[in-house]
Structure 1
Amino acid sequence: MRYPLGEHEINSIKSKTGKKLSGITLDEIKKGNVTADDIKISKEMLYNQGQVAKESDNSELAKNFERASELVDVPDEVILEMYNKLRPNRSTKLELATMAKDLLEKYKAVNCAKLVMEAAEIYEKRGILL
């Protein structure tokens, strides 16, 4: 894939619902043919963006895209809860470990679960757990 994807890969980019980027136009929105779910990014596109980052020697950005692709199927309310629990002095180590377990078992978000456990270890060392 060539970057920027929106310019070079417009016909292969699909939303979470499978709608092609080229089909998401103002006219289609006005006609009611595009819903809010149609503009959500797909796992595949986030993964592809990660591959572009990796090929450009930006491994940290690639990891971020990979984790983001894992979160596509995680409900918004779960992500918001995670955000709040990952703030300093908001959770116990057990709560973070439970969150990581849920990410792994319920959503198969291996890299996100690993990141949460790394955060728990760092928070413990810094004394910013409940």
Structure 2
Amino acid sequence: MSSYPLGQNEADTITSKTGKKLSDITLDEVKRGNVQAEDIKISPEMLKRQGQVAKEADNPQMEANFQRASELANVPDEVILNMYNKLRPNRSTKTELVLMAQELLEKYSAPHCAKLVLEAAEIYEKRGILL
């Protein structure tokens, strides 16, 4: 069972994307220049742990959200922004969404995100909100 909230109860075991411990990310360390922007980004592992907390709380939808977030943690920001724009209604063709799902799967090893994009493409097609 996880010690929720993790940030309060497991600060010494929580690490950022760069491996810096949460307990080492303090205002004093920021002022000293010892904490960079990359140091405060969450790691895929921590997102998976948050998903485990959701699972233990019997919240499968939240668990799935954290699983997808853990996959996106290593996807460049510009790719994610492009993905969000393409997923807006009437912004993409079905082919563009399928290609985006393929990129998520093959280039970024994000199968749950790819599945979500493919599901969106099918729903958008049924609703007539593709280009």
Q: TM-score, structure 1 length as denominator?
A: 0.99
Aligned to 1:2: 3
Number of equivalences: 130
Structure 1 unaligned spans of 5+:
none
Matches within 5 A, 1:41-60: 41-60=42-61
State the alpha-carbon separation in 2 of the partners of residues 38 and 7 from structure 1: 18
C-alpha deviation, 1:27, in angstroms:
0.3
C-alpha deviation, 1:2, in angstroms:
1.2
Aligned to 1:117: 118
Matches within 5 A, 1:1-130: 1-130=2-131
State the alpha-carbon separation in 1 of the partners of residues 7 and 73 from structure 2: 19
Letter of the 1:5 partner, please give it.
L
Q: TM-score, structure 2 length as denominator?
A: 0.99
State the alpha-carbon separation in 2 of the partners of residues 92 and 98 from structure 1: 10
Structure 2 unaligned spans of 5+:
none
State the alpha-carbon separation in 1 of the partners of residues 58 and 78 from structure 2: 34
Letter of the 1:83 partner, please give it.
Y
State the alpha-carbon separation in 1 of the partners of residues 10 and 111 from structure 2: 28
**SS of the residue 1:94 aligns to:** helix
State the alpha-carbon separation in 2 of the partners of residues 114 and 51 from structure 1: 21
Structure 1 runs, 4 residues or longer, greater than 3 Å off:
none
Deviations 1:71-120 (A, max 9, x none): 01100000000000000000000000000000000000000000000000
Identity %: 73
